[in-house]
Structure formats: C-alpha cells, structure tokens
C-alpha cells in the first residue's frame, strides 16, 4: 500500500457517480462489474484496495509445471503440431488415477480421468450430461451459497436451477430436504463444493454418505467440485496414501463426477488445466435421451466425444504434461502442495481476527457444530445491512468483497477472499477496518 496519509473514508460523490454510470446495483453486482468499479476507484483516488473480491490464487506456481512444459516444448519430437487425444494424454490419465487413489483413496482407472480446460469445462460438461440424461430431469440442484458462474453454465445450457441453503440445512435435515426435492423427479444433477466457496463450510463424511445413497436411489448425478481439495486445514489430508483422506461422495455412490482444479491447489490457473473423474460405474451406462445432443447414448462417450470434442477438441498438450508432473510429484511426496496452500488458512485466521474484533461477525460461522475452518474465503455481515450496503461502506475504506446474494443465498453479507493478502498488509487492513468500524458506529 503506497499511500502515506490516511484518506478514508473516500468521498462518496465519486463512488455514487461510478455506480450510477455503470448502472449496477451493489447488492447483485457481478464479480466482473465489481472488478471494473474497484479498478476505477483505485485509479481515481490513487489508492490500493484490498481486492478481496478476487477468488484467484495468491501463491506463485511451483516451477514443476513450467519446467515440464519447457521440457516438452524443447523436444522436437514432441512438438504440439497435431491434436491431443480428446480424452487426454495417457500420461496424465495415469497420473490422475494415482492422485485420486493417493489423496481420495478411491479406485478409478485412467480411462475415467478426463482432462478439461480448467474446472470450468469440467463443470460445464458435467451439467450438460447430468441435466440431459433423462427427459424432464433438467434441473441442477445447488448446495448454496456457491460459485455464481456454475449457475451461468446452467443458464447457457438451457437447464433449470434450484437451491438448498447450507445455512438452513445440514446433517439429517439436509438429507431429508434432498430426499424431498429429489422425489419431485426433476433433478438431474446435484452440485456442491466442499470446502465451500464462499463460506468454507465442509461437508462431513456422514453427510456425503447420505447424499451418496440418495444419488443412487433417485439416479441423480453428484457433481463434486473439489476446487479446494484438502484445504480444510483443520485436518492434514496431505500425506499421499495415508489417512485421513479428503471426504468425498464417491465412496458412497456410483453416480458422481469429481472435478479437480489445478488453479487453487497448484496455483496453476493460467494454463487452464483440470480433471474430471467420471465414476467407473457411470462410464458405460446408457441413457437414450443423451442421443438427442451427443450422437451416443453411452455416458462416458457423450462426455468425451459429445462434450469435450465439440467444445474445444481436447486440452492443450503441454499443460497436460504440467498437470501430470504436478500429480506425480504430489503422489511421490516430492511436492507437499497442501503445506504450501496452508498459507491461505493463516491469512484467513489473521484477517478474520481483525474483522471480528471490530464489530463484524461471521455470517456462515457454524460448520455443523464446529467453528468454520480457516481457508480461502469467509463471509461477514454487520447488523442489518444488506450485502450491497456493507460493500458500499467497505469501498469507502478501500476494501472490496463480493455481496452474497449472487452466490445463491438470501442472507445478507459479503465474501472475503484472503488469497492475495500479504504479510506486510495486515497493519493497513487493521487500520482501515478499525476506521470503518468507528465510522459505522
């Protein structure tokens, strides 16, 4: 932070004008619109903001990935002249199956491991399959709050979305609610992330067991977004092949896709490479309705040849090698990726402390009886302010974050992402939050 004098609160007139010019409502502003607004404020006032709105990695990529890509690109025999296989390069498929064994303790085959262009493509095609398998079962049910772009995917695909809020439903209550909604016979897929974006709640093994049973009973596909795999830092999930293992629904049902992103766990967002694991029990299953969209009724083929092929014709070659090398290094213990990612937990702990000691509260504070863990995100609220009202005041003190309404909850608050916080910024954060606290009274 470069400013010497303390210029907060900022002048409201410029903010008001900027909001008006952009035609946005802070309660439902999208991340992208917010980013533009914060850029504008930052530039106008000559102030660095705390960019808590970005859900992006704040750590540097390990050299393992780039080195591997360089190795391949240097080799004239491996020039990327021709198309990658649509279902991924064999080396990555093999490394992925091993990674899943070592860190989730489930048995899948290389053929079940499908590289995708980021978790984004994995989620997109997973929904396109889950929501189109059976006529009428065209709704994706979300365990909310969640990542807003997943809902944009649902919309792109012309599917419908429904929501269950984890604030109201956990444990048996959650299972009963799912049972009730599934029995409406409209749900094709159930999508969640655990740890959860934006609240950092983590589903318990018992909940996943119940969810798995229901997925099987109603033939709904669970889409388990493991973007933050192993990042519940209350537990060390980081020793390959040793318990405890990351909780996963895949232990309890054949009806799952698991989406593993390299963006957060490996800080490799820039090369857009991820993995979808298709349950071995789902791979060869036939659903005649798929033929309407993918020229095949076999689920695994529909995913690969009806999904990956017509959207991107596969995943770039050298990032696949990078991801393979990262998986390999994680499996053989040479790269303790969770030890590195632990920094996010430490940043969250310290940032929470600052907010909580200055009149803010955690919104999603309860993780099924335990305090919420420290991780990538947390959610705050203040009194009866809406998310947009709170964000407005925060912006006057050089702090951004995303209002929760866009994540699918009716509760009012703001998501804070700590990934970009640096050691030398906590004092400044404390000063601003404390001044904001005084200002709000």
42 binds a copy of itself, rule: CB under 8 A: no
Window 130-159: residues binding a copy of itself (CB under 8 A): 149, 152-153, 155-156, 158
Residue 146 and residue 137 in contact, taking contact as beta carbons nearer than 8 Å? no
Whether the upstream peptide bond of residue 198 has omega within 30° of 0, thus cis, is: yes
Backbone angles phi, psi at 3, to 5 degrees: -75, 140
295's tokens:
């020229």
348 binds a copy of itself, rule: CB under 8 A: no
**Shortest spacing between CB 117 and a copy of itself, in angstroms:** 4
The binder of a copy of itself chosen from 9, 110, 171, 270 (CB under 8 A): 270
Binding mask 294-333 for a copy of itself (x = CB under 8 A): xx---------xxx-xxxxxxxxxxx--------------
CA dihedral 281, 284, 287, 291 (to 10 degrees): 150
189 binds a copy of itself, rule: CB under 8 A: no
Window 93-132: residues binding a copy of itself (CB under 8 A): 117-118, 120-121, 124, 128
Q: Which stretch binds a copy of itself (CB under 8 A): 4-12, 60-68, 364-372, 394-402?
A: 60-68
Measure the CA–CA gap between 227 and 337, rounded to whole angstroms: 13
Give Cα 217 distance to the centre of its chain.
27
Which runs of E-coded beta strand occur in 166-318?
187-193, 221-225, 256-261, 274-278
**Shortest spacing between CB 350 and a copy of itself, in angstroms:** 22
Which CB atom, from 108 or from 128, has the smaller least distance to a copy of itself?
128
Number of residues counted as binding a copy of itself (CB under 8 A): 58
Measure the CA–CA gap between 436 and 63, rounded to whole angstroms: 40
Q: Counting Cβ atoms within 10 Å, is residue 5 exposed (0-12), middle (13-18) or buried (19+)?
A: exposed
344 binds a copy of itself, rule: CB under 8 A: no
60 binds a copy of itself, rule: CB under 8 A: yes
Residue 259: beta bridge partners? Answer: 225, 276
The binder of a copy of itself chosen from 82, 369, 422, 424 (CB under 8 A): 82
Backbone angles phi, psi at 93, to 5 degrees: -65, -40
169 binds a copy of itself, rule: CB under 8 A: no
Window 273-292: residues binding a copy of itself (CB under 8 A): 273, 292
The binder of a copy of itself chosen from 293, 336, 428, 437 (CB under 8 A): 293
**Shortest spacing between CB 326 and a copy of itself, in angstroms:** 12
75's tokens:
């080799």
21 binds a copy of itself, rule: CB under 8 A: no
Measure the CA–CA gap between 133 and 129, rounded to whole angstroms: 6
Window 210-269: residues binding a copy of itself (CB under 8 A): 263, 267-269
**Shortest spacing between CB 10 and a copy of itself, in angstroms:** 27
Contact residues for 180 (Cβ-Cβ < 8 A; gap 6+): none
The DSSP annotation for 208-222 comes to: HHHHHHHHHHHTPEE
Measure the CA–CA gap between 323 and 318, rounded to whole angstroms: 9
**Shortest spacing between CB 391 and a copy of itself, in angstroms:** 19
197 binds a copy of itself, rule: CB under 8 A: no
The binder of a copy of itself chosen from 4, 13, 20, 74 (CB under 8 A): 74
**Shortest spacing between CB 318 and a copy of itself, in angstroms:** 7
Q: Counting Cβ atoms within 10 Å, is residue 336 exposed (0-12), middle (13-18) or buried (19+)?
A: middle
Q: By CB under 8 A, name the binding residues for a copy of itself.
A: 30, 32, 56-57, 59-61, 65-66, 69-70, 73-74, 76, 79-84, 117-118, 120-121, 124, 128, 149, 152-153, 155-156, 158, 263, 267-273, 292-295, 305-307, 309-319
């Amino acid at each position: 932070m470069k400013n010497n004098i303390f210029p907060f609160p900022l002048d409201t007139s410029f903010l008001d004008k900027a909001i008006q010019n952009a035609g946005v409502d802070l309660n439902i502003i999208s991340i992208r619109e917010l980013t533009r607004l914060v850029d504008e404020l930052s530039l106008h006032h000559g102030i660095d903001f705390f960019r808590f709105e970005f859900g992006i990695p704040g750590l540097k990529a390990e050299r393992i990935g780039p080195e591997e890509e360089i190795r391949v690109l240097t080799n004239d025999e491996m020039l990327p002249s021709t198309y990658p296989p649509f279902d991924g390069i064999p080396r990555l498929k093999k490394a992925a199956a091993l990674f899943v064994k070592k860190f989730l303790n489930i048995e899948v085959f290389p053929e079940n491991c499908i590289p995708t262009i980021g978790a984004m493509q994995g989620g997109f095609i997973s929904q396109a399959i889950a929501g189109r398998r059976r006529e009428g079962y065209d709704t994706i049910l979300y365990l909310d709050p969640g990542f807003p772009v997943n809902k944009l995917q649902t919309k792109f695909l012309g599917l419908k979305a429904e929501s269950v809020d984890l604030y109201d439903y956990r444990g048996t209550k959650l299972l009963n609610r799912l049972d009730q909604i599934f029995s409406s016979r409209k749900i094709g897929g159930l999508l969640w992330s655990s740890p959860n974006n934006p609240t950092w709640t983590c589903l318990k093994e018992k909940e996943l067991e119940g969810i798995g049973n229901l997925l099987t009973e109603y033939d709904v596909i669970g889409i388990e977004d493991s973007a933050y795999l192993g990042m519940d830092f209350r537990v060390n999930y980081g020793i390959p092949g040793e318990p405890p293992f990351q909780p996963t629904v895949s232990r309890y049902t054949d009806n799952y896709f698991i989406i593993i992103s390299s963006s957060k766990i490996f800080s490799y967002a820039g090369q857009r490479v991820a993995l979808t694991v298709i349950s071995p029990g789902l791979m060869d299953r036939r659903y005649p309705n798929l033929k309407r969209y993918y020229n095949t009724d076999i689920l695994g083929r529909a995913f690969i040849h009806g999904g990956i092929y017509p959207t991107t014709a596969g995943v770039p070659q050298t990032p696949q090698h990078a991801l393979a090398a990262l998986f390999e290094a994680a499996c053989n213990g040479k790269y303790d990726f969770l030890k590195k990612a632990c920094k996010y937990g430490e940043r969250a702990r310290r940032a929470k402390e600052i907010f909580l000691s200055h009149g803010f509260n955690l919104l999603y504070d309860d993780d099924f009886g335990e305090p919420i863990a420290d991780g990538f995100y947390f959610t705050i609220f203040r009194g009866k302010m809406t998310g947009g009202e709170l964000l407005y005041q925060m912006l006057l003190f050089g702090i951004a974050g995303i209002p929760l309404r866009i994540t699918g909850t009716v509760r009012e608050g703001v998501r804070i992402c700590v990934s970009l916080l640096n050691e030398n910024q906590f004092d400044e954060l404390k000063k601003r939050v404390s001044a904001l606290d005084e200002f709000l009274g």
